[in-house]
Amino acid sequence: MQFKNPEILYFLFLLVVPILVHLFQLRRFKTQYFTNVRFLKALSIQSRKSATIKKWLLLACRLLLLIALLIAFAQPFYLAKDAKNASNELYIILDNSYSMQAKGKKGELLKRAIQELLENTAEKTHFSLLTNTDTYWKTDIKAIKNSLQNLDYSAIPFELENQITKIKAHKTAYNKDIVIITDALDLSSKQLNGIDKKDNTYFIIQKSEQKNNTAIDSVYINKTVDNFYEISVNLSHYGDKGQAIPIAIYNQNQLIAKTQLRFETDKQTAQFTIPKTAFNGFVSIEDGGLTYDNKLYFSIADLKKNKVTSIGDPQKSNFLKRIYTPDEFNFKAVSLNTLNYNDLENQDAIVLNELEEIPQALQTTLKSFVSKGGNLIIIPATNSTITAINPFLKTFGSVQFQKKETIEKQLTKINFNHPLFKDVFEGKVKNFQYPTTKTSFLLTPSGSVALANNDQSSFLSTIASNGGNVSVFSAALNIENSNFQQSPLIVPSFYKMAISNQNNTIKAFSIGNSNTYFVTAAISKDAILTVKNKDEQFIPIQQVLNNKVKLLFNDYPLHAGNFEILKENKNIDALSFNYSRTESNLAPANLKILDNYKTIDSIEAVYDSLQSDRTDNQIWKWFVIFALLFLLSEMAIIRFMK
């Protein structure tokens, strides 16, 4: 037992006072009996014995009363078992990602967690609150009540490691109590590495009763037929199979088509046919799972012909004319001597077709062209000068030409996951007529390989550079050196390499990614472009590049939807943003990784645990009660004892 005011105990010497008074009252006097009262002698002796007992009892009560009062004022207590952490600062990490939209026993997980915080957090409790999007340092529940009640779901996935880093960066002289409220979806042991062992960490796992969910993963143009687009919609289903899900496609909120899918497997694809016109709408499904992934917004611009220029011997570009047809492309083949450098900035794709050397002026122009989102295709000549072309390639990445090889090679491998061939083939082709090359260059490192030879060397590699793409072949494609021109692979390869990322393709970005978009617009350096829809408006990071403007989207927009790009309040382009689908799988979390951490049922239980473990057991009240009992005992003795 310890005392908050131990100096009060010095007053125990006052116990001497009632003792002295008592001894004074017990002094002996010589008694003289008169004749007429002698008959009372026996009765007097008996009364004196009773009075002595009464006085000793009164003395004991008074001494105990004084002792109890003094000890009560000294405030005795028993030290709490976790008293050393009583000064800890409290940090609450609240997961508000879209997986917390799932329903538990008492409703949506996030809303229930917020309600428990509001109900159980005392107004005098100071803490810091961190969500996926917001941070409130050293606040109280009254100050952030409205913010909590209006807290929306975040498109940013829950990253515990990032939140722990923020807390560590918030310097303090005290240890920390960290309460993590999450459904633990995709929580990995790596994310737990940042937790400091000296901090008290509590996990409140929000358990979902909901296991079934269907998500729209992607939308793409599968085929263009006359005046129509064939749209493919990829969907994923998690949970029980055999469910029928209605799916519809809307343009400007107007229903275009509707169908139904029955999920017998995890993945399904729905097909729609829509007019070949500008589109600004969404695909929608109805399921009993999460709602955030039930819509996927996308935009298609008005049909524009892609501009492609081939630089080199026009005779060697005849095969390109058959690929870049007039209905979709404005193609022209020019020799290096007749090249108009000023015209290159307006192209969507440029093919360097077997140039033995690239003039410095052309290199400078092409670097600028790629930096503004252009696509560059490099086909080396058989006699290309490696020392001249490698410094140029180094501008875009690490791919370099190495030694020339004069052995025949076969093209035997297609990277079906590469952007050039994604969704091109219905199935993985294993047996096809292998194209061959007689003379080729070794590419190292090989970059992102789209096509590979039988010796695993790269035949076609691509480099993503500042919004543009650079595609590099390892061999000349003339008919004397290769029969690749007769291969069916040549059409999808060159077609996809030349297609602008923004012309005649679906424009749908994921929120939170570093998305780059080029808008064809001539504006002054002081002018700005605005991105807007009916619910949200923002100004993205932008850079003026001659006749284009480079837009960079990082944290904006906050919500999914179809957006317009405005120049002086005039609509010049459209694009769409969606939430990432990383939260769609509601499979139970692996909670075994939390075996070394404290898991607790509710925020109320956390507060109760902290209160009981860190609150000293105050027992001075008991001594006040004892003092009152001794006072009552004294009064009873005085009144009732003769």
pLDDT digits 0-9 by tens, 486-521:
888 888 888 888 876 555 578 889 887 777 888 888
Report d(CA 408, CA 421) in Å as an integer. Answer: 25
- Model confidence at 616, in pLDDT bands (50, 70, 90)? very low
- Cα dihedral value 165, 171, 177, 179, nearest 10: -40
Residue 131 to residue 91: CA distance in whole angstroms: 11
Give the H or E element holding residue 459.
strand 458-465
Average pLDDT on 333-356 reads 88
Q: Read off the pLDDT of residues 53-73 as tens digits, 9 standing for 90 and up.
A: 777 777 788 778 888 787 777
Measured between alpha carbons, how far is 504 from 224 in angstroms, rounded to an integer? 10
Beta-bridge mates of residue 178: 91, 201
Distance CA(23)–CA(10), nearest Å, equals 23
Q: What is the pLDDT of residue 311?
A: 92
Torsion of CA 16, 20, 23, 27, to 10 degrees: 160
E-assigned strand segments in 79-206: 89-94, 103-104, 107-108, 126-130, 135-140, 176-182, 200-205
Predicted pLDDT of residue 38: 54
Which of 524, 558, 522 minimizes the C-alpha distance to 540? 558
CA 357/CA 444 separation, integer angstroms: 20
Cis peptide upstream of residue 492 (ω within 30 degrees of 0): no
Predicted pLDDT of residue 248: 93
Structure tokens at 496: 């996809």
- Greater confidence (288 vs 80) lies with 288
At residue 604 the predicted structure's pLDDT band, cuts being 50, 70 and 90, is confident
SS3 284: strand
Cα separation of 167 and 190, whole Å?
17
Does the pLDDT at position 37 exceed 60?
Answer: no
> What's the Rg (C-alpha) of the chain?
42
Q: Report angle CA 420, 426, 431 to the nearest 5 degrees.
A: 85
Judge contact between 463 and 397, C-beta under 8 A: yes
Contact between 312 and 353 (Cβ < 8 Å): yes
Distance in angstroms (rounded) separating the CA atoms of residues 509 and 570:
22
| DSSP code of residue 292 | T
Tell me the one-letter amino acid at 625: I
**What per-residue confidence (pLDDT) applies to 81?**
57
Q: Which of 1-10, 154-163, 225-234 has the lowest mean pLDDT?
A: 1-10
For residue 223, name the pLDDT band (cuts at 50, 70, 90).
Answer: confident
Which of residues 28 and 589 earns the better pLDDT score? 589
Distance CA 642, CA 638 (A): 8
Alpha helices in 107-169 (DSSP H): 109-120, 145-149, 160-169
Q: How far is CA 344 from the centre of its chain?
A: 41
pLDDT at 562: 93
Write out the two tokens for 484. Answer: 């690749």
Query: Tokens standing for 626?
Result: 């004892």
**Cβ atoms of residues 504 and 496 within 8 Å:** no
DSSP letter (8 states) at residue 470: E
* Token pair recorded at residue 329: 């492309």
Render pLDDT for 398-429 as a digit per residue (tens, 0 to 9). 788 888 888 999 888 888 878 777 656 555 55
Higher per-residue pLDDT: 256 or 588: 256
Question: Are residues 128 and 211 in contact, defined by beta-carbon separation less than 8 angstroms?
Answer: no
* Residue 3, pLDDT score: 65
Top mean pLDDT of 171-180, 263-272, 542-551 is at 263-272
**pTM confidence score:** 0.66
Q: SS3 of 192, please?
A: helix
The pLDDT assigned to 41 comes to 54
